[in-house]
Amino acid sequence: MLELLSIMNVIRQFIEVKDHSFNVSLPKNFNAKSVEVIIIPNEEEDFYKLSEQQKKILDKALEQDKKTFISRDDISKKYKL
C-alpha cells in the first residue's frame, strides 16, 4: 500500500520485512535529499496497541511543519488529548 500525503510530501508504505531488512521504493517525483524514517510494527498480535489518544497525538504530530514543531506534551495540552 502506498499513500502520498500532499501537505508534507509524506509517503506511507506497508512493507514486508525479510531477514531483518526491507527496501523502500520512492516515486520518481520524490526529490528530497534527506528523509526521516519511522518504523512502526504492523503486527498487532506481537506488539501493544495504541490507544485512541495516542493515535490522535501521532496524527497531530504528522501534521506539523518541522519549523514550528511542538512536543508530544504540548500537542496533548493544545488539543486537550
Bridge partner residues of 3 (DSSP): 12
- In this prediction, residues 36-64 reach a mean pLDDT of 76
State whether residue 35 is helix, strand or coil: coil
Sorted by sequence, the CB contacts under 8 Å of residue 9 that are 6+ apart come out as: 30, 32
Q: Give the chain's domain count.
A: 1
What digits encode the pLDDT tens for the residues 1-40? Answer: 455 444 456 778 888 899 999 998 888 888 888 888 888 8
- pTM attached to this predicted model: 0.40
The two beta strands, 10-13 and 2-5, are antiparallel
Most confidently predicted of 27-31, 64-68, 72-76: 27-31
What is the domain extent for residue 29? 2-78
